[in-house]
Amino acid sequence: MVKKYRFGNPFATEAVVKDVPVSEGKPLYGEVSVGEGFSYSYSMAEGDIVYGLGEANRGINKRGYCYVSNCTDDPNHTEDKCSLYGAHNFILVWGKETFGLFVDYPSDLAFDIGFTRSDLLTISCERADLDIYVIQGEDPADIVKQFRRLIGRSYIPPKFAFGFGQSRWGYKDREDFRRVAEGYRKNHLPIDMIYMDIDYMEEYKDFTVNEERFGGFKEFVREMKGQDIRLIPIIDAGVKIEEGYPVYEEGIREGYFCTKEDGTPFTAAVWPGYTHFPDVLNPKARAWFGAKYRFLTDMGIEGFWNDMNEPAIFYTPEGVAEVTALMEEFLRDRKEDRREDARWDAKLDQKVTVIKLREKLGESSGRREDYRLFYHQADGKRIRHDQVHNLFGCNMTRAAAEGLEGIDPDKRFLLFSRSSYIGMHRYGGIWTGDNKSWWSHILLNLKMLPSLNMCGFLYIGADLGGFGANASRDLVLRWLALGVFTPLMRNHAAIGTREQECYQFEGIEDFRHILGVRYRLIPYLYSEFMKAALEDELYFKPLAFDFPEDKMAAQVEDQVLLGNELMIAPVYTQNVSGRYVYLPERMKFVKFLPEGKISEEVLEKGHHYVEIRLNEVPLFIREGKCIPVVDAAECVADLDMETVKLIGFDGASYRMYDDDGVGRNYEEPGNWSVRSLG
Ligand code: GLC
């Protein structure tokens, strides 16, 4: 049962797709205070667990820390960070009372979950204009399912998007891409996608391709597809300000950019230098921006990643003016002190480039004041950006999804975004942004998975191998062995870091093997993904969801359930040859060993230490269940469903979903089949 409570005059975020009548009175369970801002508080019992919050830092159980929904471009995901790129305001309280809570509020929203006071959950924000949904149900799984029904069906990508993808910021011309393709194909490392970062564009201008480095782009896309590799370009939020650039000129002419208080377009610097932001909250501007993707689909492109859409701001002219004034003041004082030092004077004349300025003004990146300088034209009204900040990435991706639907309504495109709000899960997936090649980020990757699923995001993944910092071979292998199970499986790295494509390391056969396991499992992973999407279920679950009576299961933070058949427990520590796992029931411990071999061992409920070498992929099949596997292939199109066999417990059967992976006829009864083992 869902109850909706309305406060003030909320902005229509369109996160919820179902009509729910507004209930009178105060929201169930909590105390509300409206005055200086808004707050909802709930008194937690000692054993209460709090799940949810999607792409948030720290544990699967969110209790004990505070989190702020405020989409932020921050590449340092250290433990103290309260905000990352997404804003996913759904929590599930489980214990004394068990209920779900969705706070539909698109600006800064703080969740203090037993941080200030260990027994108190407080959700607060500045303006009392919001909808709160309280969801009651039989158990946590039922509550999450009801929530998912409320927010609508999750995005479904094409089947090729379940293959492996390679990415790196810095591939700059056709030759670089050919080298990557060759590195994979020549070494028989499976791959389906190579991602194109900003360097494919002409001076980072959206919907352009650099002629010199990518002339004849259509043929190049075809050439890659001839090798069963799809190129997936990035699209950034900011549109470069440049006379003669049609996207800029049209946007200005039609008034499609976000504006300042005086009605002139708002300017912010991102990769291209100064840009304007398309007003994706304005339906006309959204349709305009979305239709632009055709420029690339006309050349054979079938997928995109939307970036910098918090929107990221390196600096604004206003911010620069402030900092310059400060700098001038500072330098005047310094000059007084050092009049004799001629070199110092020379320094003053240095020309400051976009990048240098960015570095110098590091502090001005993502300045809160900047988000108060611009406006949207939404719902026929003008609204200041900071009041709807968390909706920008969501609506940029909505623009793309609707644009792509207009281009080909029957076709599934690959689409994912960096920033998001609940509601965007209907339009695309997400990747979790600029992580680092740190062991702790493998674990953070795992912890986000069930929380994201609860919030509707199913097509998800992290930059495998880590984006920032230098990756070591063992870290990449271990991270890939987790990535085998995430719907989006992409290795991505930042410019300047150690190259981490799978063929860059010694012992390529280990990488070939781990990628091969991904492809062997695609029938199962795809089937479970489709079940989760079509039936509003979780693809990744905390153990406690299926083992509610098991006190130990509730404490496990480094293992998750996948679908109804599996538990996964990745290795996320360096220099170890295995790990401890907790089995909440008897399970079959399966290892995919090199050379196509599989080891199987039944383990009893309880704690175990399991050996897992660097070149092995472990998984646990639940009591009485089985999963389908096929022979490995080098791309999704080559998977041979004739080789499907089942592994698991004798007598088990599996309800399998499969379809062409391209169209949208999900409901065909023929897509389902039942297979039995033994
Ligand atoms: C952002 C993205 C990253 C990308 C880079 C350059 O940092 O998060 O994935 O490589 O921009 O486009």
106-144 confidence digits (pLDDT tens)? 999 999 999 999 999 999 999 999 999 999 999 999 999
pLDDT given for residue 379 in this prediction: 78
Cβ 410 vs Cβ 401: under 8 Å: no
Confidence of residue 36 (pLDDT cuts 50, 70, 90): confident
Q: Is residue 485 part of a domain?
A: no
Q: Is residue 53 part of a domain?
A: yes
Question: How far apart are the CA of 231 and the centre of ligand 1, in A?
Answer: 16
pLDDT given for residue 360 in this prediction: 55
Closest CA to 198 of 304, 46, 320: 304
Question: How far apart are the CA of 57 and the centre of ligand 1, in A?
Answer: 20
Instruction: Kindly give the interhelix angle for 473-483 and 439-454, rounded to the nearest 10 degrees.
Output: 10
Say if residue 419's pLDDT is above 70: yes
- In this structure, what DSSP letter does residue 188 have? T
Q: Is residue 371 part of a domain?
A: no
Say if residue 454's pLDDT is above 80: yes
Question: How far apart are the CA of 465 and the centre of ligand 1, in A?
Answer: 15
pLDDT given for residue 358 in this prediction: 59
Range of the domain at 587: 537-676
Domain end point (choices 98, 125, 151): 151
Q: Is residue 58 part of a domain?
A: yes
Residue for token pair 């900071």: 386
Say if residue 675's pLDDT is above 70: yes
pLDDT given for residue 403 in this prediction: 98
Q: Is residue 452 part of a domain?
A: no
pLDDT given for residue 361 in this prediction: 60
With vertex at residue 383, the alpha carbon angle to CA 382 and CA 388, rounded to the nearest 5 degrees, is 150
Total domains in the fold of the chain: 3
Calculate Rg over the CA atoms of the chain.
25
For range 502-531, the mean pLDDT: 98
d(CA 590, CA 576): 19
Pocket-testing residue among 171, 396, 434, ligand 1, by greatest number of atoms within 8 A of Cβ:
434
Q: Where are the beta strands (DSSP E) in 357-432?
A: 375-378, 381-384, 414-417, 420-421, 429-431
For range 491-496, the mean pLDDT: 98
Average pLDDT over all residues of the chain: 95
For range 246-265, the mean pLDDT: 98
CATH code (residue 593): 2.60.40.4040
Structure tokens at 328: 């001038």
Say if residue 678's pLDDT is above 80: no
Question: How far apart are the CA of 197 and the centre of ligand 1, in A?
Answer: 7
- In this structure, what DSSP letter does residue 426 have? G
Cβ 62 vs Cβ 455: under 8 Å: no
Q: Is residue 491 part of a domain?
A: no
Closest CA to 484 of 588, 602, 571, 583: 571
Structure tokens at 584: 């909440």
d(CA 81, CA 435): 13
Domain end point (choices 122, 151, 180): 151
Closest residue CA from atom 10 of ligand 1: 169
Residue for token pair 């996964």: 568
d(CA 424, CA 395): 7
Nearest ligand 1 atom to alpha carbon 75: 7
Establish how many alpha carbons lie within 13 A of residue 447's alpha carbon, considering only the half-sphere containing its beta carbon: 20
Question: How far apart are the CA of 307 and the centre of ligand 1, in A?
Answer: 7
Q: Is residue 502 part of a domain?
A: no
For range 507-531, the mean pLDDT: 98
Q: Is residue 308 part of a domain?
A: no
pLDDT given for residue 255 in this prediction: 98
Confidence of residue 326 (pLDDT cuts 50, 70, 90): confident
Domain end point (choices 151, 172, 201): 151
Say if residue 277's pLDDT is above 50: yes
pLDDT given for residue 325 in this prediction: 80
Structure tokens at 378: 């939404």
Question: How far apart are the CA of 523 and the centre of ligand 1, in A?
Answer: 31
The answer to which of 21-30, 162-171, 226-235, 420-429 has the lowest mean pLDDT is 21-30
Confidence of residue 354 (pLDDT cuts 50, 70, 90): low
Percent of the chain with pLDDT over 90: 91
- Cα pseudo-dihedral 390, 392, 393, 399, rounded to 10: 140
Confidence of residue 324 (pLDDT cuts 50, 70, 90): confident
- In this structure, what DSSP letter does residue 206 have? T
Q: Which string of DSSP letters, residue by residue, matches 561-596?
A: EETTTEEE----STT-SEEEEEESS-EEEEEE-STT
Give the pocket of ligand 1 (CB within 6 Å). 169, 197-198, 234, 307, 418, 433-434, 492
Nearest ligand 1 atom to alpha carbon 169: 10
Cβ 482 vs Cβ 446: under 8 Å: yes
- Cα pseudo-dihedral 502, 508, 513, 515, rounded to 10: 10
Structure tokens at 39: 């707050």
